[in-house]
Structure formats: C-alpha cells, structure tokens
Structure 1
Amino acid sequence: MKYIREFRDRGLARTLAEAIARESDTGRDYHLMEFCGGHTHAIFRYGVQDLMPDNVEFVHGPGCPVCVLPVRRLDDAVELAERHGVILCTYGDMMRVPGTKQRSLIRAKADGADVRMVYSTLDALKVARDNPEREVVFFAIGFETTTPPTAVAVKQAEALGLTNFTVFSNHVMTPPAMRHLLETAGEEEVKIDGFLGPSHVSSVIGSNPYKPFAETFKKPVVIAGFEPLDVMQASLMAIRQINEGRHEVENEYTRVVTPEGNLKAQVLVAEVFEPRRSFEWRGLGAIPESALKLRARYAAFDAEQRFPLAAKDSREVKSCECPAILRGAKKPTDCKLFGTVCTPDNPMGSCMVSSEGACAAYWSYGRFRGPEEQKKGAAA
C-alpha cells in the first residue's frame, strides 16, 4: 500500500538510526517533545525510542484532546445529560473518561441518562432529526482537526431548521498550548529542545502558525507524519537544527502539510467560531485564547447559552499523575496508580482512556515491562 510500507521499511529505519547516532553530539542530551498522540503511539508501537541513542529522549506532550479536557468540563457534560435530560452525543473516548468521584458518561448512561456514542457530527444531526421532541447536545471536542466538521454541523443544523440541536464546544488550539509549555517549562524543569509538530492539525492550519514562537523561544519545530520513518526523519531534522543552532519550522510531512494549510477549512471555522478569552487545559491550567466558542451569530446552537450549568467543585482522581504527564514533567511509569489501580479496564485518568493517551500507549505496547516480560507478552 502506497505511503505505508515505504514508511515502515526496516532497512531504511536502520539507516536513519545510524545517521541519528552519528550526528547526535555525545556531549549533550536532546529532549524532543512530540505534540501529537499519534506520534506517541507510533514511537511505542514500532519501538522508535529503542532505535535512538541514549542521549535522545522523546518527551510526551499534551497532544491528546480527550486527555487535556479539564474535569470540570466533563462534569458539565454529565450534568447536561442527567440534570437537563438531553440526548448527549459524544465520541467513544469521552464515554469512559472519569470525572469527579469517578463519575463518567458511561456510568451516567448506566444510571438512565440518554448518552449516545456517535462516529461523526452527521450522526448527531441525524439523532436531532429523528427526535424532534428532544433536546440533542453534541459534545464537541478536539484540536483544529475536528473543528471544521463541527462548524459544518452547526451550519447544516441552521439550514435544516433544527431548533433542538446545540453544541457543547470544547475545541482547543495547538499553537497557544505549545507557547504556554515553553513559557512555563522552567517551573518544573521540563526540558524541551525542540518539537515534533502535530500531523493532522498542521494539515488544517499549515506550518506558518508555528513560526512566531519558534523564533521567540529559539526552539526548532519539525512537523512529522505518523509512520515510524516519519518520526525518525523528523527527529534527525530536529537534531541537525539543534546542532547548528537553528530554530526554524521545517516540514517533514510534505505529502500532506503545506505552509498555508487548508484555507477553506480555516474560513469555515472562523465564520462559526471565535477564540475564548481563556480556557483551562488539564495539567496546563488556564491558557489565553486557546479554545473556541460559537460566535454570537450562532448562539442559538450553543449549549452553554441554552442550558445553565452549575458551578462545580471538580477534582482529579487523587494520586493520578495525568496532569504532570501532559506537561511532560513525568512519564506514565512515574505514576503510582499506573498498571496497578489504573488500567484500561479501570482507568483513573484520561491518559489511560484515550487511544491517543500516553498511558494507553505505554500499556498497549508493554513498554513499561522489562525485557523478559515483553518477550512473554509477545509469545502470548
């Protein structure tokens, strides 16, 4: 299959590994933060970290939109389903994320709330059309990649005259979060020498938005594809920049990403959404203009305008290190709950639930086990 086998070739992987080892300065360390859950899973699925020299380390960033959603927003969604009696439509990952006191949407559903998993915004619109007597709320979540479909859904709902359809918007934006990480990295001594820029996000916004903070903070950004050779080639490009003292935005993923991005999608999003003054990210705190809300023009489709939401004393699960993991301050194996109390069957935090979460990657590919345990798992 084109663009799959070519980017998983073992011979090319060995060649790239040799080049990285050859060009890495043994007198220093390299800390490369991947800002994409897809990169995190590729690194562990294909053993990319094992092909790196000891002085090249991947730092897992907040590249999982489900993971970075604060507990309070999940608690709000549970309230919408339980207190307001709406049909709440959401993507599968959000169903099992634990909120305050381990209350999740799937538990709310088990207790009688009408929570439905959908695969697309079109599914949510169909639910609204099929249930004209019920209020239907679409729990919109994601980075710039999933925002355009939500904008399309709002415009379609207006065109169809659906007065029972609203959106609970939790769309967040990548560049402000990357800037925030660089501004606060010193507080916890999180070391970031460069970024592997997100793939799908960059296909929408392009590579240009990363230039200002790459120049301001003097950190290279290399946009990388999802395949193992993409990650390795992007790592080599970042290492070369660091060695040469450069801090530019480079694009390894040229087969998909352009400097200007998807202009049609950007115009659509700008028409329907506007930046929030501030928005809380799990683990990162409040970040100015890092999320989107519906414009006043589409207020009739804003769930936060239609349904009053109570103030909450929302809390993380005690001892869960998901917030620190999202900042790059800790790894999943630094969490006391990981692999003991917290497993995919009994998640304590969103990082273990989402298919893009770092804890889920560590668990799925057995990277937290010793060599002998990994061999036994592979044999099984």
Structure 2
Amino acid sequence: MSATASFNHVDDAKTVTVVGAGVIGISIALHLAQRGARVTVLDRRDGIPPCTDGAFAMLIATQPDGPSEFNALYGHAIDAWHHFDAEFDGALGVRWEGALMWAAGGDLAAHLDEQYARLSEWGSAVERIDARNFVSFCDGVETGPIAAGYRSTRHGVVDPAYVWKTMRARCVALGVTFLTRAPLARINTLATLNGLPHAYVEGLPPPDVVVLAAGEGTAALAASLGSDVAYTIASGSLAHSKPVPWRALPALVGPKLSVKQNADGRIVAGLDYAPGAACDDTSDAYGETLLAEARELLPGLPRLELERVTHGRVPIPRDKQPIAGFLDGVANCYVAVMMSGITMAPLMGRLIADEIVHGRRDALLIPYTPSRFKPE
C-alpha cells in the first residue's frame, strides 16, 4: 500500500469501516447502508458483544442529572425509537409501559426529589409517586417504604439481544460486510495529499471514513492516533429468567433492585449501573440471588428459573454525555462512545450516518464533539 494516497472511488458511494459491532456500531452501519454507503464492520467476536448483551436495556426518556439540552436529547432518542420500531413493523419487541423510580429515604430520596423537580420544570412527562398512589401505576409490588419517587411515562424496555440480531440481519440484507474474530490493536494512518493523516485498518482498503464504536476498547484505538477519548467503565451483571407469563409491568427501579420483563416473558433483574459501579459476579448463585430478590419485589411472579447471567462493561464519558464526532488531527476518523447505548442507538445511528454521508452535523450533536475534553 502506498505511503500517500487519494481516496476517490469509481462511484459516489461512501466507503466506511466501522470498528465495533455493539448496538451503536450496528446502528451506524445500518443507517449508513440505508444511505447507500458501502460498509464493513469489524469486531473481535462472532456474536453479540457483551456490552450490548449485558445491558439492562431500559429505553430512557429523561436525563435529569445534566443540562436541559442533555435531557432533551433523551426525549429525541425516544422519538427516534418509535420511528425505528415502525421501520421494523413493530417487530422489535418494545414495551412502552414507563418506569417507576423510588427510594426509601436518605440521600437517594433527596436526589429523586431533586430530579423530579428539575424534570417537571423542563416539562418532561413525569408524575410523582408515593405509597398511596403507587398501586395505580403497578400493583403487586412490595415496595417497602417510599420517601420519594416518580414515574417517567415515556420510558420503555427491550431485549437488547433480540434487537441486535434483528438489526444485524437488516444490515446483512443491505449489503453490510461483517468481519468477525478480528482483534484490532491500533488504527493505522497514511499521509494524504491534503496534509492530514488518513485512518485505515491494516488489511482493508483505505475507506473514506473509519468509525470507532468499540465501546470499552475505543480509547486505546483513539490513542493509537494520538487522540484522547476520556471515559471510565461501569460494570454489572444481570440475571435472566426463563420465560414466564406476560404481565403488565413498567420498569421498576427500586432502592435494592431494577426489574423488567421482556416481550418474550423473560424477567431480567440487576443492580443499577452507575459511575464507579463494579459487579463482576457471573455465577449461577448470584443470578439465583437476583431472581429471588425479584420475586420478593414481585411476589405474584411464578417460580423463576435462571436461564443465564450476563455481564456488561459500559463506557461512561467523563461528563457522562455522548462523545460523537470526528477526531482532530485525523482526516477521517469518527468516534462514537456513550452510555445509554440501547436508548441512543437509533437516534445516534441516524445523526452520525447523515453527518458522514452528507457532511452536515446536526445541531443535536454540536455539544458532543470529542475535542471538548482537550485542555485549554
């Protein structure tokens, strides 16, 4: 391969290499292919990456712990999910039943009160909950004392593994190439006629754009280009039951446990991911404990049989807000890292694909450029 190159193609189709086959990478690939791009996706695994498989996958409609614009982004993400599900004829198994968050007291209760006040001021669709009205939103829940809480009416839940498989199949139908078992330690560069180095992956033709959407591994790949992508990692394990009869059930985010039921009847239980969280126990014993606690919270559930325990490691950017944009100093390398990846995937996939294909950066993405972390 030559030391310098220009990157003109016979046709006008953009060529894009996406590094990372998690839900963000898959969504970017899907939206790029829908816009006529020729897309290759690389991942070191064959199947669904653990960061996606291990997600609780609550579709989050509000984000009170940040500026109002960040909260509004989550609202746009939920709008995008409704459109995205419609593109699949409602086949993604979304349950739109809201979410109930509550606390027994202490700092968590005070924090929920602050969140509710902030969201109400911003006009988000939330309602206060307490011990008296909780049953009107969901019956059969042994909540314990409720000192504070609220319902977010626009939240939903999905099964991330099912969504990922469905999206991947659509990608394949659109001509996306998947290269699996492809471990990658670095991104290479070539000198170009315009002076900025051009990123490419060893063994592949230099594309118009390289997208780094490798979750936890993104920082090391960006560092190989001399760029700093700043995030920490939170980890957690989830217990998945075998299917049980479907029941009306919003996502429950209580002081001890988070519980949901997927559209296929499986109950999923776990502790919340949070900055600094680290739970790496994937034993059956831990999974059985989580399901036992789920039955304590919902005593009307039938006996829950453990099917599997998943473990995810979630990148959380330094300011907890998405990182999405081209790296400075490289002609063609785009980075996409964020928490709430399941929630953000349809919206970010569309916005990022539009930016890459059409060269227009949507106003929603302006606050989230990677360069915001550069020292002044």
Could you tell me the TM-score, scaled by structure 1's length?
Answer: 0.28
User: Which structure would you say has the larger RCO, counting Cα contacts within 8 Å and 6 or more residues apart?
Assistant: 2
Q: Scaled by the length of structure 2, what TM-score is found?
A: 0.28
Counting helix residues as a fraction of each chain, which structure ranks higher? 1
